[in-house]
């Protein structure tokens, strides 16, 4: 961890991460491989340390969100297969070959550029094709999938290793998700009837892994569940939170009844109380939407945030607790004694999703890695 004088830091429990990966792997079974999704700095946990820990656990396929992340992994000695889970502009096709990265193919122009680069270097390039069964984002529509895949298949030096799709509502809409699974199966059958086969078929994200066993195929893509957030009520996947966010009290003052706190004067004290100022703010990724609407833990007790979240600070109403002072640790995400605040709690209070809470935590915040 780099030296930081501002008392804000993240603890990442790599032991919990490994245990979560083991649970997911066991749940999937021996016939289903795993692409561990570590995009956007492993959902804020730290790209390289997470990859190293999961590699030690036997995960051999990583999904990232950009070429930059893939190259960073290669530059840090990660030898595992690395798969970029998005489309990339054709002019960057060479980078996949140079760094031995597996691309997603979603359009013919990129596929042609990739083929040309592979022929020039006299190498075969492994790639996955993405089709759209209802996400409405990337890939050829399922009705056009056969024609698109047949066209890509005819290009030289491309090894079509995987076929996949993506679910938008696996956590909330069983009817739509089952329709997508059915569409994906029909595309696979149509291709197999013409002897077009892939080594890997995958569509299950974390929610689908937990809720739809028939979506597992022979590869799945766990993401948020690896980090201890289960997007279902499936008790067979009882995972542990991996990340804690902590800071310290930097100032304490007593305010009188009628005094206000922070910008906009959105909080006015209805009685005299102590206010603790804590070093964290929206510039660190702690959402403005938590203003007057979140809790933190100090000395094992939960206290309410009051006033508007500032760029660098939040204020906490600690009541008559005059034993709380400068330097006391504050848990913003995590557990202390019998109190806990989870990323899911913050997401509920901020009216967002835990994915955003974790992935928006500033990369300037020092990460401390440990195994518990």
Residues taking part in catalysis: 39, 263
The two three-digit tokens of residue 288, written as one number: 């403005």
User: What sign results for the dihedral spanned by CA atoms 186, 192, 194, 197?
Assistant: positive
Alpha-carbon distance of 164 to 145, in angstroms, equals: 11
Widest pairwise Cα distance in the chain? 78
Enumerate residues 6+ apart whose C-beta is below 8 A from 239: 19, 20, 23, 24, 225, 226, 228, 229, 230
Alpha-carbon distance of 306 to 291, in angstroms, equals: 7
Chain centroid offset of residue 90 CA: 26
């Amino acid at each position: 961890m780099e030296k930081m004088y501002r008392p804000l830091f993240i603890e990442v429990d790599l032991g919990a991460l490994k245990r979560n990966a083991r649970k997911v792997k066991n749940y999937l079974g021996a016939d289903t491989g795993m692409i561990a999704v570590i995009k956007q700095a492993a959902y804020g946990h730290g790209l390289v340390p997470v990859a190293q820990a999961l590699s030690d656990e036997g995960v051999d396929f990583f999904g990232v969100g950009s070429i930059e992340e893939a190259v960073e992994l290669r530059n840090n000695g990660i030898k595992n297969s690395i798969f970029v889970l998005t489309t990339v502009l054709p002019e960057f096709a060479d980078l996949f070959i140079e760094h031995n990265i597996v691309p997603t193919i979603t359009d013919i122009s990129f596929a042609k550029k990739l083929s040309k680069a592979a022929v020039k270097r006299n190498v075969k390039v492994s790639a996955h094709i993405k089709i759209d069964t209802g996400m409405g984002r990337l890939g050829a529509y399922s009705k056009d999938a056969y024609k698109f895949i047949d066209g890509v298949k005819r290009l030289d030096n491309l090894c079509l290793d995987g076929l996949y799709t993506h679910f938008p509502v696996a956590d909330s809409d069983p009817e739509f998700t089952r329709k997508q699974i059915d569409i994906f199966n029909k595309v696979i059958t149509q291709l197999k009837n013409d002897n077009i086969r892939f080594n890997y078929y995958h569509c299950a994200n974390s929610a689908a892994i937990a809720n739809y066993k028939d979506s597992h195929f022979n590869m799945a893509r766990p993401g948020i569940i690896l980090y201890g957030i289960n997007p279902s009520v499936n008790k067979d996947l009882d995972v542990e939170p991996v990340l804690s966010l902590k800071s310290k009290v930097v100032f304490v003052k007593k305010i009188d009844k009628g005094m206000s706190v922070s910008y906009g004067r959105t909080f006015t004290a209805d009685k005299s109380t102590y206010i603790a100022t804590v070093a964290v703010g929206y510039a660190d990724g702690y959402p403005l939407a938590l203003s007057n609407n979140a809790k933190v833990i100090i000395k094992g007790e939960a206290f309410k945030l009051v006033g508007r979240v500032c760029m660098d600070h939040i204020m906490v109403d600690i009541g008559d607790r005059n034993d709380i002072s400068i330097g006391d640790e504050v848990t913003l995400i995590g557990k202390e004694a019998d109190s806990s605040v989870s990323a899911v709690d913050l997401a509920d209070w901020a009216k967002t999703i835990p994915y955003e809470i974790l992935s928006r935590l500033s990369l300037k915040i020092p990460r401390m890695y440990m195994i518990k």
